[in-house]
Amino acid sequence: MPLFGRRVVRASCLPHSSSIWLPRTRLAHSSTSPGDAKSASAAASELPSAMEDRRGALNRKLSSVMDDLQSRMLTASHTLNDITGYSAIEAIKTENQNLEEQLAKAQEHVRTARLAYRSSNTKRSATQREVTTLLARKDSWLPVDLERFTELYRTDHVLEGEVTAAQEALTEAEADEQRLSQRLNAGILKRYHEEQIWSDRIRRASTWGTWGLMGMNFVLFVALQFVAEPWRRRRLVRGVVEEEKGVLREVRDELGAVKRELSRMTESEARLPVEDVVKESVGSREVTPPPPPPPPPPSTTTVGWRDVMLHPSRWRAAAADLYSERRLDLRMRDASMIAAEGALAGAAVAGGLALALTRRT
């Protein structure tokens, strides 16, 4: 069955005798299975164009996220500078940078003015030397020498004005350079002074923050030891008591069942003849051995402290027991007192160190 065919289509606006042949696509009616659709979609997703589109979308999303993060970080840094007072130092730094640029331009202007002054001065010196040479042979002047002298005199007058103007420009440029240099030095000193004050303020704030953290840690420790730990212990004890009650209830039920079984067995045994009961009782009786004699009391000997110190074998075991892994049963009050003493000792040591550093600075 061909895919494309031709069909005669008559136009309404044309005469009935005319006809136009137009190509028309025939649709092939075919049923597609779900498996073929899934495979086609998978193949389409693996195309290079689809992968490139996904990569481009991911790159755009990543770039937008990075731009947003960068703007947020910049805003956070500006806010932090405003809070800590570093924005004024940043303004001083910007002003110093502008002064540095102006000073560089002023120095370039000074170099240009100095070069122009030297050039004008050199030209005037050459003109004056030539005039002096002409004046030295004044008696033998020719008309050309007279014209040259007149021209040199005019040129010297013009160069004198240029030298004066160049000197004034050089003086003004040097004064401007000196003024900018002084302003820049003052700005640098001001920035250094402000940064020192800011660093001292931050150091004091960090010291107080450290003390605050230590106090908060101590408060949390006390709250955990005297509030949370007793509550947890009571809850644990309550849970253990409830479990013990359940176990005791089960044990009572089992004991009741055993008692009932024993009473039933006793009633059944009471129905037997007395002789059999006596024989069974005599045969089941066991001879109990006599109890062992009590152990002799331990002998106590008194040893002086000099003997203990002179013989390390006597106190070595006690010293090793101080850092051994032997378990001890302590009360919660004793453990809390030991922890509180350790915390107070650590706080005292840290306070002494901080006070010594503060006095030194």
Candidate from 198-212, 213-227, 271-285, 297-311 with smallest mean pLDDT: 271-285
Average pLDDT over residues 291-314: 57
Check whether 218 has a pLDDT greater than 50: yes
Residue 318 has pLDDT above 90, yes or no: no
| In the chain, % of residues over pLDDT 90 | 20
Query: Does 51 or 282 have the greater pLDDT score?
Result: 51
Residue type, 106: A
Residue 107 exposed, middle or buried by CB count within 10 Å (0-12, 13-18, 19+): middle
* Segment 53-75, tens digit of pLDDT: 888 888 888 888 888 888 888 88
CA distance 55 to 78: 34
d(CA 65, CA 47): 27
Choice between 52 and 329, residue whose per-residue pLDDT is larger: 52
pLDDT band, very low/low/confident/very high, at 339 (cuts 50, 70, 90): confident
pLDDT tens digits, 321-335: 766 777 777 777 887
Under the banding of pLDDT at 50, 70 and 90, the label for residue 186 is very high
Measuring CA to CA, which residue among 251, 225, 254 is closest to residue 336? 225
Predicted pLDDT of residue 109: 92
pLDDT for residue 48 is more than 70: yes
User: Across residues 340-344, what is the average pLDDT?
Assistant: 85
> For 194-204, what is the mean pLDDT?
89
Both tokens of 330, joined, read: 């302590």
For 246-257, what is each residue's pLDDT tens digit? 888 888 888 888
Burial class of residue 218, CB neighbours in 10 A (0-12, 13-18, 19+) = middle
Identify whether the C-beta of residue 24 lies closer than 8 Å to the C-beta of residue 8.
no
**288 pLDDT higher than 50:** no
Q: What is the pLDDT of residue 278?
A: 47
Contact 194, 89 (CB under 8 A): yes
Reported as type and span, the H/E element at residue 261 is helix 229-270
* pLDDT single digits (tens) 345-357: 888 888 888 888 8
Record the tokens describing residue 200, joined without a space. Answer: 């001292």
List, for residues 128-174, the tens digit of each pLDDT value: 888 888 888 888 878 888 888 888 888 888 888 888 999 999 999 99
pLDDT digits over 81-133, tens only? 788 888 888 899 999 999 999 999 999 999 999 999 999 889 888 888 888 88
